[in-house]
A = this chain, B = another copy of it.
Amino acid sequence: MSQRLPYQLVSLNWKKSRTVFEVKGTEIGGEDLFMIAGPCAVESEDQIEKVAAHIKELGIPFIRGGAYKPRTSPYNFQGLQEEGLEYLKIVSDKYNLGVVTELMDLALLPKVYDATDIIQVGARNMKNYHMLKELGKVDKPILLKRGMDATVEEWLLAAEYILLGGNEKVILCERGIRTFDTSVRNTMDISAIALAKQLSHLPVIADPSQGTGKRSLVGPMSAAAVVAGADGLMIEIHPDPENALSDGQQSLNFDEFDEILPSIKGAAELAGKLVSFSKQKKDGQKQFIKI
């Protein structure tokens, strides 16, 4: 084991070349900016169908959506559960989209495994080391969110658990930490993205929706994350955020989402990443989004 670092397999000292892998035809950790969009929670077939159609049109390859939702209060919407996974499968097939959804508990692994291309470990489970060990044996990539109270070192050690089990396809995802500042829901830690890229060969992406909890900050923080080195973004969008069943205040509607894409594209180019977004005009003509 390395003398100076507490982790080994995830370290850029140990593996000098950056980890790049392909999931459902999309390269992650390479030249392309990896884009994921979708609602916080799957709420209905209609909702997820609308989102899928929109992101397909834009050329975004992955959809997100929670079927099992970890909610602070038991009286809040807990997700559609199996029904939600079913809707994700339907739109994934119809639009040939990759799926990212969260595994809330190991007991749900068989169901979630079947419905998703990338298994998300939520912030609340980043230190669930028993789960991490089991995910080391799974043959699907893991999107490992940083815990709200996790140092960068602890985050990398959590990834080490998965790699040590044999699964090398781990995507780190910064999603905001908990600080004293109540001006935002979480304090998105852009420096953690830059630092993780300097310390580890694993791909690092950012979730600016959860990361800030505030719609107006999603655009600037997306661009900032990419400029600081993020390999991708996961952004919450919803056909009607005002009536979302969870986290509407941090979700963008489709127009708002389209509006921030040019700055994301600019940031990607500045960071040496490629990305293309396109959109059909209402009259059927293809239109490139204004940059």
Count of identical protomers in the assembly: 4
Residues of chain B with a CB closer than 8 A to A106's CB: 105-107
Q: Nearest residue in B to A197 (C-beta to C-beta)?
A: B220
Given contacts A180-B151, A212-B191, A217-B191, contact A107 B130 (CB under 8 A): yes
Residues of chain B with a CB closer than 8 A to A149's CB: 147-149, 178, 180
Please tell me if the beta carbons of A71 and B177 are within 8 angstroms of each other in the complex: no
* A223 interface residue (CB < 8 Å to B): yes
Least CB distance, A272 to chain B, in whole angstroms: 10
Given contacts A104-B129, A192-B183, contact A221 B217 (CB under 8 A): no
Tell me which of B124, B133, B153 contacts A183 (CB under 8 A).
Answer: B153
Residues of chain B with a CB closer than 8 A to A188's CB: 190-191
Please tell me if the beta carbons of A181 and B151 are within 8 angstroms of each other in the complex: yes
Q: Nearest residue in B to A123 (C-beta to C-beta)?
A: B127
Q: Nearest residue in B to A194 (C-beta to C-beta)?
A: B220
Residues of chain B with a CB closer than 8 A to A68's CB: 130
Least CB distance, A12 to chain B, in whole angstroms: 12
The interface-forming segment of A26-34, A48-56, A72-80 is A72-80
Least CB distance, A128 to chain B, in whole angstroms: 6
* A184 interface residue (CB < 8 Å to B): yes
Q: Nearest residue in B to A163 (C-beta to C-beta)?
A: B74
| A residues 194-240 touching B (CB-CB < 8 Å) | 194-195, 198, 211-212, 214, 216-217, 220-221, 223-225, 227-229
* A182 interface residue (CB < 8 Å to B): yes
Given contacts A154-B72, A183-B153, A227-B227, contact A217 B189 (CB under 8 A): no
Residues of chain B with a CB closer than 8 A to A181's CB: 151-152, 177, 189, 192
Residues of chain B with a CB closer than 8 A to A130's CB: 68, 70, 104-105, 107-108
Tell me which of B124, B157, B223 contacts A270 (CB under 8 A).
Answer: B223
Please tell me if the beta carbons of A191 and B195 are within 8 angstroms of each other in the complex: no
Residues of chain B with a CB closer than 8 A to A131's CB: 105
- Minimum-distance CB pairs A-B, first 3: A149-B149, A105-B130, A152-B183
